[in-house]
Structure 1
Amino acid sequence: MRTTLPLGEAIPQQVPPVAPTDPFKSFPSVSTPQKMPKLNSFSTMNPERPAAPVSKDVKLRALLKQKGDPVEQGLVWRVFSPVPGSDGKLPLLATSQGGSADFQLIPGEYFVNVAFGRAGATRKIRVPENGEAESQTLVLDAGGVMLNAVSGPDTKIPRTELSFSIFSSEVKDDGERPLVVADVKPETVVRLPSGTYHVVSNYGSVNAVIRADIQIEAGKLTEATIQHKAAKLTLKLVAEPGGEAIADTAWSILTGSGDVVSESVGAFPTLVLAEGTYTAVARNKDKIYQRDFTVTAGLNSDVEVYLDEKENAEASAKAARAED
C-alpha cells in the first residue's frame, strides 16, 4: 500500500457526485484556486437592516482522515443556500476545484459540500456578522484503489481486454450487490469512502471472471493485482497440423458439461477462456469437425481442429491425458 489519500456526512440528494482528476497528495499539486467573486445575491440577515452586509473570507480545507494532511488536488467544492428554490432544490451559489478553497461569503448560513471522486462530505456553516469567519475543515474518510490483473503466474493482460467493476460488500434482499463503479480500467485510481468492496474482474468477454473483496483504508492508496486462471486462444480449422486456416467456418465452444460458452464465425477467431477442458466444434460446408482441448492458465496458444477425424481423436486423447 502507498499512503497518500478522506467521507463524512452523506451528500444531499441535490448534490450530484463528481469524479475529478486523479489526486493523491503524493502526486504533483495544482495551483491554488482563485478566490470566488462576492456573493451579494444571497443573505440570511434581517432584510430590514439598511446597511448592506460585508462579505467575509471563508477558508475551506478537506482531510482524507482525522489528523491527516489537507488534500491538495482533486477536490470539488460547492456552496449552497440553505433555502430551497422554487424547484425544491438548494440553489448552488459558488464552486471551486483543486485543493483548499477560499470563498467570499456574506454573513449567514450555508451548506458546503466537498467531493473527492465518489467520496464526499457536507457541512452546514455559519459566517458570522461580527469578527472574522473561521476556517472550516471537512474530513472525507476516504481512500483509493488501483486495480490490475495477470493471467496465470505472471502473464500480463492487455489493458484493452481487462476491466473491473466495483460493488458494495453488502448483499441486498434480492441477492444482488449495489454497483459502485462500472468498467474501471487497469491502473486507474478510484477514490472511494473507506470500507470493504467486492471487485469483479473480467478478462475477455466469455467466462474468465474473478471476484475478490478489497479493503479501502482512509488516507491510503491500495494497489491490488488479481490473478486470472485463463488464457487467450486462437481457433483454426486446418487440413493438417500447422496448415492454413480455412475461411467461412462457424465455431461453437462447449464446456465439459456440454454448455455453449462461445459462438463465432471466421477463419481464426480469438477468445479468452477460463482454465479447464472444452470441446471446439467447427462447421464448414455442411460438415462438422470437433476436438477436445485443455486451457492452461497463462498459456496463450492456437487450437487447431483438423479435417481428419483421426487427428482430432488423437488431439482429444492428448487433452484428456493432460487434464488427468
Structure 2
Amino acid sequence: MSDHTKGRPNMRPGFGTASFALSILFLQPALAQQAPPGGGGHEPEGPGAYASPSAIPKDPAAVDLGIPTSRGLKKLEPIALPQPPPSLQGSDLKLPAIPAFAPQPQPSLNITRPPNALTLHATLGKDGPSIPSDLVWRLFSPDPAADGKLPVIAVAKGGEAVFDVPPGPYILHVGFGRAGVTKRIDFSGRETRETVAIDAGGLRLSAKASADAVLTKDKVHFDIFSEATDEHDRRLVASEVEPGVVIRLNSGNYHVVSRYGDVNAVSRAEVRVESGRITDAVMTQRAAQLTMKLVREHGGEALADTAWSITSMQGDLISESVGAFPSMVLAEGDYVIVARNKDRLFQRQFAVKSGVDSDVEVLTSDLVDPNSPDIGTGD
C-alpha cells in the first residue's frame, strides 16, 4: 500500500468518483437558492423576494388545504315537504269525529274546605229563610284573658262561615246589622254543620212637619234606644240615623227620638220591630223654621252686627246666634226674641206654629228702653 492510501477508508476502484459527481449534481440547486441575486457569494445579503398581489391566490385555503369556498345565499328557495307513502295517497282515512265542545269538569266548591270543619249558617227567625250575606261571625274562647275579655279565636264574614278550629267549647256571636245572637257551641272535632236563628227585623224611619211636608235628611235625624222602664237605663242602639234607611234590629220594642234642627224640636215615639218584617215609622214634628232680621221698617234692609237671643215666656234661654239673617228651627210655642245692636236691645214676642215656616222682623222701634236715642244704620 502506498503512502497516499494510508489513513483513508477502503474504497472500491471507480465507485468513489461517480458518487462524488452525483453529489455535486444534487447540491447545485440548493447552492443556487442560497446564493444572493447577481452571483458572488462574498456580497452582502439583499432584500428578500417580492410577490405581486395579483399573483396571490384569492382563497389560499381552497388552493393549499382543499377547503371548498362558501357562497352567499342569493334567494330563499322553498323546502320540499315530505310526501306520504304511495300506499296512503288517494285513500280515504276514517278518523273519529271531534266534538265542537268538550265539557270540562267543574272544580268542587269544597276543594278548599277542611275535611273536619265547623260550618255555620243563619236563618231569619226559627223557620225563616236563610240569610245569604251581611253576617259577621266571631268565635271566642270561653276562658277570659288577663284583661277579663274573651279572646277572639276566628272571624268570618258572609252568609256562611267555615271554621277550621281544634275541638272544644266556643262562644259564638253572629251580627246582622245591629241585630245579633250569642250562643255556646261544643265542637267535637268532626265535620259539623249548625244553623243559627236570628230573630231580627228592619226599622225604617221618616218625619214630617205637616201633612205634606216630609223632612229631608239634612233637617232631621233619629236616635234609637233600647226599651227600659227608666229613662236612665236606656241603651243607645243607633245614632244619627238618616230618614229612609233600613236599620236591622232584633225584634222587640224601641224608643226612638227624632230631632228636627239643633234647638228644641224633639219628637219621641215607642216603636215595635217584628221578626222577618220591615217596620215603617213616620214621626210628626210639631215645629217650624223661622228667619229673623232687625229692620228700621217693615220690609227694610236688615242691620248687620246683630246678636240674637231666644227665650221662653218664663225667661229660660233657648238659643243664641249672631248675624243679619239667623235661621233656626223651634218647637211649636210662644217665645221672646231679643236683638242686640250697638249696645241697644230690641225685643218682641212671637208664636211658632207647627209646619209654618216664616220670617220674623224686629223693628228698631221695639226698643227695650224707649228713651234711648235712635240707632244708626248699623253699617
The question of a shared fold, defined as TM-score above 0.5 by the shorter chain, is answered with yes
| Superposed structure 1 runs of 4+ greater than 6 Å apart | 34-38
Distance 1:295 1:211 in 2: 20
Query: Which residue is equivalent to 1:114?
Result: 174
Q: Is 1:290 aligned with 2:347?
A: yes
Shift of 1:165: 1.3
The equivalences for 1:30-49 within 5 A come to: none
Shift of 1:87: 4.7
Q: Is 1:272 aligned with 2:332?
A: no
Shift of 1:266: 0.9
The equivalences for 1:31-70 within 5 A come to: 55-70=115-130
SS at match of 1:279: strand
Worse-superposed segment, 283-292 or 106-115 = 106-115
Greater gyration radius = 2
Q: Are the aligned partners of 1:37 and 1:104 in contact in 2 as well (CA < 8 Å)? A: no
Query: Which residue is equivalent to 2:242?
Result: 185
Q: Is 1:74 aligned with 2:134?
A: yes
Distance 1:58 1:64 in 2: 20
Query: Which residue is equivalent to 2:228?
Result: 170
With over 3 angstroms needed to count, the CA separation of the structure-2 counterparts of 1:91 and 1:283, relative to structure 1, is: closer
With over 3 angstroms needed to count, the CA separation of the structure-2 counterparts of 1:90 and 1:308, relative to structure 1, is: closer
* Structure 2: gaps of 5 or more residues: 1-108, 368-379
Worse-superposed segment, 198-207 or 285-294 = 285-294
Would you tell me which structure has more strand in proportion to its own residues? Answer: 1
Query: Which residue is equivalent to 2:302?
Result: 245
Distance 1:269 1:245 in 2: 11
Query: Which residue is equivalent to 1:151?
Result: 209
1:81-129 CA deviation, whole Å, 9 max, x = no partner?
4454555544323221121223334444333221112222223333335
With over 3 angstroms needed to count, the CA separation of the structure-2 counterparts of 1:266 and 1:92, relative to structure 1, is: same
With over 3 angstroms needed to count, the CA separation of the structure-2 counterparts of 1:137 and 1:176, relative to structure 1, is: closer
Distance 2:156 2:232 in 1: 40
SS at match of 1:171: coil
Shift of 1:163: 1.7
Shift of 1:259: 2.2
Query: Which residue is equivalent to 2:155?
Result: 95
Distance 1:140 1:35 in 2: 26
Shift of 1:227: 0.7
Distance 2:110 2:171 in 1: 18
Q: Are the aligned partners of 1:146 and 1:188 in contact in 2 as well (CA < 8 Å)? A: yes
Distance 2:292 2:334 in 1: 15
Higher RCO, Cα 8 Å, sep 6+: 1
With over 3 angstroms needed to count, the CA separation of the structure-2 counterparts of 1:294 and 1:82, relative to structure 1, is: closer
What letter matches 1:217 in structure 2?
E
Worse-superposed segment, 79-88 or 196-205 = 79-88
With over 3 angstroms needed to count, the CA separation of the structure-2 counterparts of 1:90 and 1:246, relative to structure 1, is: same
Query: Which residue is equivalent to 1:259?
Result: 316
Shift of 1:72: 1.6
Q: How much is the aligned-residue C-alpha RMSD, in angstroms?
A: 2.6
Distance 1:88 1:37 in 2: 35
Q: Are the aligned partners of 1:36 and 1:102 in contact in 2 as well (CA < 8 Å)? A: no
User: How many residue pairs get matched?
Assistant: 259
Shift of 1:248: 0.6
Shift of 1:80: 2.8
* Structure 1: gaps of 5 or more residues: 1-33, 39-53, 311-324
